[in-house]
Amino acid sequence: MTSNAQQPPAESRGLTLYEAARRFHVPFQSEARPRNRDVEAGGLRFHYLEWGSPDRPTLLMLHGICQQCHSWDFISLALAHQHHVIALDARGHGDSQWPSDADYSLDAHQRDLDAVTDALGLRDFVVVGHSMGGRNGYVFASRRPELLRGLVIVDTGPGQVAAGSRRIRNFISLPDRLNSYDEFVARVMDYTGRPAWLVHGSLQHTIRETADGKWTWKYDAAIRSPDFRPESWPSEKLWQCLESLRCPTLVVRGANTDVLSEEVFKRMQEVIPNCQSATVEKAGHLVPGDNPRGFLEVLTPFLTSLHN
């Protein structure tokens, strides 16, 4: 099953990406436009945004749960002049296909990454993953080290802080059919603390209008079920993945996060070989969206170091 988004009313769309980026002080060289792509891989159809020229160093961007490829728009826009950016919609998210068996296990995501990277012929690339995408990214990097030039793990690690996990689950479990686009704007503003001008524009990629005129999230409803518990790996096995990483790795934490604890963040720095770390001020768990400029200030030097 797939989801088909309709555009929100014109008055609700807010600023363009470029206007929002300027207001948010996100540096970018030109008004680059992404190309919508689809790839059949592992029995599913995956959607992704492609930014920049394929002859530049490639970045594979992996979003968090209940997000989608546009979560990386500010970052992709800033990097497109020097990089080839592929921002992927994970299974059941954005415009990628929903699996008929609602399998959102870690193993399923690993099969997807194997299939997508092989189908696209990706080699010598950098994975940048946030939250669920960060976990999927470091497990993939531990399994396919021959493919990666570098890895960026954003605000995730083995053993999440319970309070942060509950907050995310509580938000996901709220009623998922609202009467208007603006009701969703108010909900996201309350959850993220972001201003209306920013949420109005970005939300168009996250929700869709249904046939009865209601609005709902643009990801598989199975994920919103109170019983949703995707199969993962034990923490010990995840720590082993981190210990076995072979590529240069940057671990990023939001200064105000309630998901990645200081203790886990410190241990990750100790066990990951060839590890750098950074804390982004004025950011919670949603680091690239909370403070994109601050995230770029730690990400860009790391990416530059991989090609020197």
Residue 7 pLDDT class (50, 70, 90 cuts): very low
Q: Which pLDDT does position 8 carry in this prediction? A: 41
Residues found in the chain: 308
Q: What are the residues facing 38 on neighbouring strands?
A: 47
**CA–CA dist 103, 183 (Å, integer):** 30
The encoded tokens of residue 192 equal 């993220």
160/43: higher pLDDT: 43
Tokens of 89: 């919609």
**Among candidates 219, 211, 222, which has minimal Cα distance to 6?**
211
Stated pTM of the model: 0.93
Supply φ then ψ for residue 207, to 5 degrees.
-125, 165
Q: Judge residue 91's burial from the number of C-beta atoms within 10 Å of its C-beta, 0-12 exposed, 13-18 middle, 19 or more buried.
A: buried
From CA 213, how far away is CA 202, in angstroms rounded? Answer: 20
Crossing angle of helices 235-243 and 132-143, in 10° steps, is 60
Q: Per-residue pLDDT averaged across 29-46, rounded?
A: 97
> Which pLDDT does position 159 carry in this prediction?
83
Mean pLDDT computed over 258-267: 96
Q: Please check whether residue 8 is in contact with residue 181, taking contact to mean a CB–CB distance below 8 angstroms.
A: yes
Mean pLDDT across 147-173? 88
Query: DSSP H helical segments within 9-130, as ranges?
Result: 17-23, 73-79, 106-120
**Domains defined for the chain, CATH in brackets:** 25-164+232-305 (3.40.50.1820)
